[in-house]
Chain A
């Protein structure tokens, strides 16, 4: 694989399609700057600012852009809100479309066939594998991402966090809770 990658990179560089320095910058950005903390900030803001939450659920792409996040993929972001009545979960059944700029790079299981195929057929079973159990009466809604539309789950704010700052709250928001395969951390739980 290494040789195939080098071959393509050399050709693309010689033809002027890419600049190796720009590639390094992209990789570095995903190593250091872009990760689930971006999404966590968005979630924490929505928990503390009702106007922002409304804007986020209405048009997530626009709401997020007001926070100064830069979207590299220019995709259409949709935020879906978890409630006591409904739990949202995100999958890409075809490949692995994923809101990179919000969550960084997808974990291995998100890209794996078992998750991609079972999430739609048996979401409750998949959630159980993640250690997530929901009341029977909670509806589970599965969102299938596409190249154009990516989803961000807005999890429920944990109880016992009244008066917490946005920054404190953001630390509770896990990557999986924004995919819908987990919950935010509980206040007081070891980080």
Chain B
């Protein structure tokens, strides 16, 4: 199910950028996460100093939990940093994030293969 969702999102984002070491973004969600951080910074939600401190903290925690931290998991830390900062800044609580994650999960489950996944009020029930 996750794979199907990822594959469908991939179709929405043409041409993942590459350099000689391979794709700069390994999956489309990494590009989305990257862009969200830039957009929120531009909105003044956080400073780059706050961002770097939080990201460094996330990486340290992941390492402590056994993450090999070889660059492949980098955007996972990036995403955790986003979630931490939006919660700290009162933009979205962890509970709200959970609710929306479950709703997207539900929407992906009920959507037939090949059709775009859309969120409806029923997905929150």
Question: How many A residues have CB within 8 A of the partner chain?
Answer: 47
Q: How many residues of B contact A (CB 8 A)?
A: 62
When the two chains form the complex, which single residue of B38, B43, B52, B63 contacts A17, counting CB atoms closer than 8 Å? B43
Given the complex, which residues of A lie within 8 Å of B100, measured CB to CB?
A: 6-8, 10-11
Q: Does residue B88 face the partner (Cβ distance < 8 Å to A)? A: no
Contact: B39 with A26, CB < 8 Å? yes
Contact of B24 among A1, A6, A104 (CB under 8 A): A104
Query: Hey, what's the 0/1 contact readout for A1-31 against B, CB within 8 Å counting as 1?
Result: 1111111111110010111001110110011
Q: 1/0 per residue B39-51: CB within 8 Å of A?
A: 1111101011101
Residue of A nearest to B25 (CB): A105
Please judge, given known A-B contacts A3-B2, A97-B52, whether A107 and B97 are in contact too, CB under 8 Å: no
A5 touches B55 (CB 8 A): no
Give the Cβ gap from A120 to chain B, nearest Cβ, in Å: 15
Q: Mark B97-120, 1 if CB is under 8 A from A, else 0.
A: 110110111001000000000010
A107, B83: Cα distance in complex, Å: 24
Q: Which one of A9, A24, A146 has the highest number of Cβ atoms from chain B below 10 Å of its Cβ?
A: A9
Provide the residues of chain A in CB contact with B34, threshold 8 Å: 26-27, 30, 105
